[in-house]
């Protein structure tokens, strides 16, 4: 249990629901909740480049400029570590500050399999600047085993602290997650690296898959408060820390935040399990069509299922 790290992604994954337009009091509320609840890491957003993405379309937490982060966390004189996510293709490596000039502790790198060399380059640079790093291989359910094995062998040789299983489509069942966890940990443990899990809830298995990962040696466990995240959302923080039953983690600050912030937010934003997300998850498809159907309140589920099958 001492090796387990609970990793909050509420603002970063939740930002995919509202283009990162969270008000400061909400972001500060998540930060304070994480501190009080004993959470190990908080991913405060993405550090995409304003030169590559529209600052009119996206809020501050899609860019995580240093002054914006410090406006929320100050010098962060707490045990909570701050992380940001770099999307390969949406970041400019030269814009990354030296760690000594930043309150950020960790750079998380999101990459597709064909971008793995670019992810390795960024991770190496981030390490050289003093950051902890992770590499999250996205859409791994669409990657063939040979490609995945080759990518993992590459990651075993570079400067990266945590290699992540990313259930991008929320399509995995616990038996499949167990096999992946064993594959990742077998490689990572040989070279002193750790493995993480980022689960989506399309088929209502994010919590179960996170537990299964932990039981197979995965130590970095991603959560969001009340499951807030893209589409069907993620493993809920309150569920996981209740399951871990570790006195280090406290659920009451999380419940307080849900009561005061999530309940009102549910009247503005829509996330969580639904039939379109289930169909997308079962067919191992990106949830974009399901998100559109839900936005349009389209309940013609048979027609949606038929069209989804045709896409496969």
74 pLDDT exceeds 80? Answer: yes
Mean pLDDT of 189-214: 97
Q: Would you state the pLDDT for residue 296?
A: 85
**pLDDT tens-place string over residues 87-113:** 999 999 999 999 999 999 999 999 999
The stretch 47-69 carries a mean pLDDT of 96
Structure-block tokens of residue 100:
């000594």
pLDDT range class, residue 238, cuts 50, 70, 90: very high
Write down the pLDDT at residue 25.
98
The pLDDT confidence band at residue 295, using thresholds 50, 70 and 90, is confident
Same domain, 133 and 236: yes
Query: With b meaning 16 or more CB within 10 Å and e meaning fewer, what string describes 255-286?
Result: bebbeebbeebeeeeebbbbebbbbbbeebbe
pLDDT of residue 1: 54
Q: Is residue 28 part of a domain?
A: yes
Same domain? 282 vs 260: no
Q: What is the pTM of this model?
A: 0.95
Q: Do 254 and 189 lie in a common domain?
A: yes
**Is 176 inside a domain boundary?**
yes
| Maximum Cα–Cα distance across the chain | 55
Question: CA dist 75 to 8, 27, 28, 66, 80, Å?
Answer: 19, 16, 13, 11, 11
Nearest Cα residue to 268 out of 3, 14, 78: 14
Same domain, 142 and 256: yes
Phi, psi (rounded to 5 degrees) for 27: -65, -45
For residue range 117-154, what is the model confidence (pLDDT) as tens digits? Answer: 999 999 999 999 999 999 999 999 999 999 999 999 99
Say if residue 2's pLDDT is above 80.
no
Of all residues in the chain, the percent with pLDDT exceeding 70 is: 99
Residue 17 lies in a domain: yes
pLDDT at 187: 96
Number of domains observed in the structure of the chain: 2
Whole-angstrom distance, CA of residue 258 vs CA of residue 263: 6
Shared domain check, 230 and 84: yes
pLDDT > 90? residue 297? no
Q: Is residue 270 part of a domain?
A: no
Indicate if 198 and 292 belong to the same structural domain: no
Do 135 and 49 lie in a common domain?
yes
Confidence band, pLDDT 50/70/90 cuts, at residue 270: confident
Q: Closest Cα to residue 184, out of 214, 222, 211?
A: 214
Q: Residue 76 belongs to what domain range?
A: 5-265
- Looking at the structure, do residues 251 and 281 belong to the same domain, yes or no? no
Q: What value does the mean pLDDT take over residues 212-229? A: 98
Q: Residue 17: is its pLDDT beyond 60?
A: yes
Residue 250's pLDDT is what? Answer: 98
| Cα(276)–Cα(177) distance, integer angstroms | 22
Q: Look up the CATH number of the domain holding residue 161.
A: 3.20.20.70
* Per-residue model confidence (pLDDT) at position 234: 98
The mean pLDDT of the chain is 96
In whole angstroms, what is the distance from residue 169 CA to residue 285 CA? Answer: 6
């Amino acid at each position: 249990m001492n090796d387990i790290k609970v990793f909050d992604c509420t603002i970063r994954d939740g930002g995919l629901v509202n283009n990162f337009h969270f008000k400061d009091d909400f972001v500060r509320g998540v930060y304070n909740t994480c501190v009080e609840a004993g959470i190990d890491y908080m991913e405060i957003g993405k550090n995409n480049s304003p030169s590559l993405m529209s600052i009119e379309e996206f809020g501050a937490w899609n860019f995580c400029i240093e002054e914006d982060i410090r406006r929320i966390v100050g010098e962060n004189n707490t045990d909570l570590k701050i992380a940001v996510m770099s999307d390969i293709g949406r970041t400019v490596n030269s814009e990354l500050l030296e760690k000594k000039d930043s309150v950020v502790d960790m750079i998380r790198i999101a990459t597709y399999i064909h971008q793995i060399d670019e992810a390795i380059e960024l991770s190496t640079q981030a390490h050289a600047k003093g950051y902890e790093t992770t590499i999250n291989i996205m859409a791994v359910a669409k990657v063939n085993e040979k490609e995945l094995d080759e990518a993992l062998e590459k990651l075993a040789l570079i400067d990266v602290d945590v290699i992540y299983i990313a259930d991008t489509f929320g399509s995995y069942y616990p038996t499949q997650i167990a096999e992946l966890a064993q594959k990742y940990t077998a490689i990572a443990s040989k070279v002193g690296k750790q493995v993480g899990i980022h689960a989506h809830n399309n088929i209502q298995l994010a919590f179960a898959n996170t537990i299964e990962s932990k039981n197979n040696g995965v130590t970095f466990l991603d959560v969001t408060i009340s499951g807030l995240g893209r589409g069907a959302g993620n493993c809920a923080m309150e569920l996981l820390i209740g399951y871990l039953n570790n006195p280090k983690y406290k659920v009451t600050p999380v419940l307080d935040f849900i009561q005061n912030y999530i309940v009102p937010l549910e009247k503005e934003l829509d996330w969580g399990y639904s039939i379109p997300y289930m169909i997308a998850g079962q067919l191992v498809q990106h949830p974009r069509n399901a998100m559109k159907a839900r936005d349009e309140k389209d309940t013609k589920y048979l027609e949606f299922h038929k069209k989804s099958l045709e896409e496969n």
